[in-house]
Structure 1
Amino acid sequence: MVAGTKYRGQFEERIKAVMDEIKRSENIMVFIDELHTLVGAGGAEGAIDASNILKPALSRGEIQCIGATTLDEYRKYIEKDAALERRFQTIMVDPPTVEETIEILKGLRDRYEAHHRVKITDEAIKAASKLSDRYIAGRFLPDKAIDLIDEAGSRARLCVMTAPPNIKDLEAKIEHIKKEKESAVKGQDFEKAARFRDEERQAKLELENVKKNWKQSTLENQPQVTEEDIALIVSKWTGIPLARLEEKETEKLLKMEEEMHKRMVGQDEAISAIAHAIRRSRSGLKDPRRPIGSFIFLGPTGVGKTLLGRTLAEFMFGDEDAIIQLDMSEYMEKFNVSRLVGAPPGYVGYEEGGQLTEKVRRRPYSVVLLDEIEKAHPDVFNILLQVLEDGRLTDSFGRRVDFRNTALIMTSNIGAEMLRKQGSLGFAPPKEDASYQAMKSKLLDEVKRTFKPEFLNRIDDIIVFHSLTKEDLLKIVEIELNEVKKRVSEQELTLEFTPNAKGFLIEKGFDQVFGARPLKRTIQRYIEDPLAEEILKGNLKSGIPIRVDMKGDSLIFENA
């Protein structure tokens, strides 16, 4: 309407002509999408905008009009013009439920089947509604479910439109025969050229028949859009691995402890507590508005608190890097707390967004690890209350960030110093295992003194990590040495470690205070450093196994 109105009054003339036509025609309902664009449209200096032209006709009931706009635009444009607002009855249109979306998709199914020439199954429609509602944030039903069906139909159609390989082979054969024929003609060998001409004619007929059969089969056998197709599209949109959606969730959850123990040594109670919380969440017995799980990990350094977070990320999301790690020692001062959700308007860094909210908004399916939580300013816990209770957080731009698909893990060393003095942490002798419950009780009392009750009340579970035993350390040595073997195999070298060598590493890597971390430094010092020197000197030959054994107070490398 506005395009091409070069002269004053031209826009008003067009609007008036449309209104006159509507008045002359009976039983016409006018629908104006993006109603807020009427306000100020065509309103140049001295001219009347579209909304003011419509007002008299609306007040007299000459036009039956329905307008559509969003709440934000309604508040920004239409509410400012009270006269225009008064002429419209406001009706809130809420997004449909999953069940209603399924019925909507069934109504649209015929159109999409005709457009894409595919068959859309009932399972695909149900999957599109449920998976879009559960995993696709920032959009509403039925729009996101319809887009899923549309994209899945397009993908299924493109898959069958790919020409079979024998067509490409025949085309290549015809091209080769043409070149041979042209070569024979240039060489004055007309008899040979005639033979190639007949071969070319035969190959073209064969190609035509193959193409005809292929087109006929694609028309007869319509591709189907299944639940798996919808799952694949959702995984591409959201970044969730396909296996996570295709595998039956019950089977996956029942073997959760077994899967996590492949990477995590010991800490049976911690893994079991997390598995129970995840199962409760996935069984639908938890409030769907809250995060997948929220945990506080207590215990000494080097016993696997952060590793358990990474293992959980790999199990749930198929990627151990799907973890958002924030060091709470950076948020000790009150003025740093706002960095979590973003600086308020007028302050430096407003455009950058929040350290926590931006990361979760970009990757809403992740494990959030808040390290050393007791070092954070008390206001941090006030921010986290909303996340733990409602599964959402509003950033400095007013955007609502969804935490419902995150697992929140907080680590802490509260009470560790007190217990270390009593010898209850680090590598406890087997006889001290009975004191675990007493240690746990002391740590929980310390936690209650440190954190507010309303914060602790929203946590799913507080997990106290066990002390590492020497049996645990032996398993950790195996895992670390396997990593070394894997790296060395790239140099075409094979390593074998004797039990004496492993015992030597455990003895040197033993540390009552620092847990298992000194073991990595021990392996670096006694295995990786000497091995690097031997490789550079050329003393180690590829293809010959190298045995690592203990001799005196050091390790030796010799051909097996």
Structure 2
Amino acid sequence: PALARGELQAIGATTLDEYRKYVEKDSALERRFQPVDVGEPSKDEAVEILKGLRDRYEAHHKVTITDEALHAAVDLSHRYINDRYLPDKAIDLIDEAASKMRLNLLTAPPDIKELEVTIEKYEQEKDEAVASQDYEKAAEIRDLVNQSKEKLEEVKQNWRQKNDVGEGGEVGSEEVAQIVSSWTGVPVKKLAQEESDKLLQMEDTLHQRVIGQEEAVRAVSKAIRRARVGLKDPNRPIGSFIFLGPTGVGKTELSKALAESMFGDDDSMIRIDMSEYMEKHAVSRLIGSPPGYVGYDEGGQLTEKVRRKPYSVILMDEIEKAHPDVFNILLQILEDGRLTDGKGRTVDFKNTVIIMTSNVGAHTIRKQKTLGFTAGDGESDDKYEKMKDNVMEELRTTFRPEFLNRIDEVIVFHQLENKHINDIVDILLKQLGKRLNALDIEIAFDESVNAFIAEKGTDLEYGARPLRRTIQKEVEDKLSEALLKAEVTKEKPIKVYVKDEEMKFTHE
């Protein structure tokens, strides 16, 4: 009644969803208010809002906030934080960056803590010397205590002057970038020299795990460098690739090696087996069930993982087995770098590398091998190109043009050759050595082991996997038996060698 009579003037603020839920349902209440839609401000307007708030945050945190920091907060939040709006997300970035700077200033440097520990230790030694009536030693320690206390006071004085409460530190764009990185996991800080070198040498890093696939390694490395320097299209994923080739040639291994190179751990890879999405209804498992259906609260298997790890390698294994409706979802990811899940939330794919593996064309490769096109060590570039053209033709008959047109690069993996086998055996034996070291077993392999496994486990048609099975059968199984029979022990280093076509274990 007071509102109707004009006795009460009120301004309310709410979201569109809340307005629909509570106000629109009550037509009498809705009639008393004039709705005013407040949209998200532009980037320039958001910077002006931050400038108006800057004095308050500077006074609260006792730090200086530069114009650079305000522009960085707006630009970086607009690009990397998609589930919130300006100016809210930019304000939070500035607040947290200023708070972190202030905490760093108030935290005593390690030198002070080390000196305090040293003084405490000297005090204990002095008390022990006095208790044992060694007064000469006590006097020496007392002098050391006094010297340490003087040094401590000097260090504290320098620290206080450097971080005077009245002045504080300066928050710049780099501090804001660090907060964005901690929130999203995306490395947006300036490139340090160490990281630049790492990016330039990415091919060498990947070749430590993937043998004989120059074209694939080069294409993936270029995409990562382009993204990290900031030259990629900001509205698309870092890179999207289809890996084609016969089984066991390194398609999945390259994806793991890339995840390890980017994040230091190949567990950072999101792996989805597309053979689980052969049915039409399985598509909802990727993005989450719509409201009213079972599993609505759980979210999608793909969207939830990417929301939690927005900077990741997504491996979609055996993509040709997926239902056609899955490709409709992939079109949106590949073109716009985003996807709406079952709850209506937009999930950002702009910082992901999407790798799809397929066995399409594997039959063509095997058929050509039997005809002599890709036989043995002497596979020429011409033969590889011919094989690639035939595989691409088969690919076009399997996938729709609009899907293939959105892929950055289709990479056909070479069939492994005899010259690659020894390098692969080396890598597999090193991996086994690492696993055994974790169990406190030190092991060394003789050169004869490498040659024996390469000879016994080589089957070029099936790639590197037979080598792994041969190592399991000839080394792991026999070593476990030797340990159980106490022929060798964990306490001493174990040497492995081959004698009379038999694997032998001994202590040197």
| Alignment TM-score, normalising by the size of structure 1 | 0.76
Asked whether 1:506 is paired with 2:454, we answer yes
**Are 2:224 and 2:238, in contact at CA under 8 Å, matched by a contact in 1?**
yes
Asked whether 1:351 is paired with 2:300, we answer no
Task: Select 2:257's aligned residue among 277, 288, 311.
Answer: 311
CA distance in 2, matches of 1:362, 1:475: 37
Task: Select 1:395's aligned residue among 326, 338, 341.
Answer: 341
Instruction: Say how many residue pairs are matched.
Output: 493
Asked whether 1:437 is paired with 2:385, we answer yes
Asked whether 1:530 is paired with 2:475, we answer no
Asked whether 1:76 is paired with 2:25, we answer no
Asked whether 1:152 is paired with 2:97, we answer yes
Asked whether 1:450 is paired with 2:398, we answer yes
Task: Select 1:381's aligned residue among 318, 327, 342.
Answer: 327
Aligned counterpart, 1:495:
444
**Are 2:377 and 2:418, in contact at CA under 8 Å, matched by a contact in 1?**
no
Deviation at 1:276, TM superposition (A): 3.2
Aligned counterpart, 2:6:
57
Supply the AA of the counterpart residue of 1:93.
G
Further displaced range: 478-487 or 500-509: 478-487
Q: Percent identity?
A: 55
Deviation at 1:228, TM superposition (A): 4.6
**Are 1:427 and 1:470, in contact at CA under 8 Å, matched by a contact in 2?**
no
**Could you say which structure has the greater relative contact order, defined with CA pairs below 8 angstroms and 6 or more residues apart?**
2
Further displaced range: 139-148 or 350-359: 139-148
Further displaced range: 421-430 or 519-528: 421-430
CA distance in 2, matches of 1:249, 1:508: 41
Q: Secondary structure at the match of 2:266?
A: coil
Supply the AA of the counterpart residue of 2:267.
D
**Are 1:240 and 1:318, in contact at CA under 8 Å, matched by a contact in 2?**
no
Further displaced range: 459-468 or 529-538: 529-538
**Are 1:240 and 1:317, in contact at CA under 8 Å, matched by a contact in 2?**
no
**Are 2:73 and 2:94, in contact at CA under 8 Å, matched by a contact in 1?**
yes
Deviation at 1:306, TM superposition (A): 0.9
**Are 1:118 and 1:222, in contact at CA under 8 Å, matched by a contact in 2?**
yes
1:15-41, Cα deviation, whole Å (9 max, x unpaired): xxxxxxxxxxxxxxxxxxxxxxxxxxx
- C-alpha distance 243-390 of structure 1, shift in aligned 2 (>3 A): closer
- C-alpha distance 212-285 of structure 1, shift in aligned 2 (>3 A): closer
1:106-132, Cα deviation, whole Å (9 max, x unpaired): 444433333222334555444434433
Deviation at 1:293, TM superposition (A): 1.6
The answer for unaligned runs of 5 or more in structure 1 is: 1-51, 190-194
- C-alpha distance 207-408 of structure 1, shift in aligned 2 (>3 A): closer
The answer for unaligned runs of 5 or more in structure 2 is: 134-138
1:323-379, Cα deviation, whole Å (9 max, x unpaired): 111111111112222221222333322222222122222222211111111111111
CA distance in 2, matches of 1:71, 1:463: 47
Further displaced range: 465-474 or 170-179: 170-179
Asked whether 1:132 is paired with 2:77, we answer yes
CA distance in 2, matches of 1:534, 1:459: 51
- C-alpha distance 378-536 of structure 1, shift in aligned 2 (>3 A): same
CA distance in 2, matches of 1:553, 1:109: 77
Deviation at 1:218, TM superposition (A): 3.1
**Are 1:300 and 1:426, in contact at CA under 8 Å, matched by a contact in 2?**
no
Asked whether 1:408 is paired with 2:354, we answer yes
CA distance in 2, matches of 1:178, 1:102: 61
- C-alpha distance 466-95 of structure 1, shift in aligned 2 (>3 A): farther
Deviation at 1:212, TM superposition (A): 6.8
Asked whether 1:465 is paired with 2:410, we answer no
Supply the AA of the counterpart residue of 1:403.
F
CA distance in 2, matches of 1:549, 1:178: 59
- C-alpha distance 237-308 of structure 1, shift in aligned 2 (>3 A): same
Aligned counterpart, 2:272:
326
Further displaced range: 398-407 or 543-552: 543-552
- C-alpha distance 514-76 of structure 1, shift in aligned 2 (>3 A): same
Deviation at 1:467, TM superposition (A): 0.9
**Are 1:495 and 1:548, in contact at CA under 8 Å, matched by a contact in 2?**
yes
CA distance in 1, matches of 2:415, 2:465: 14
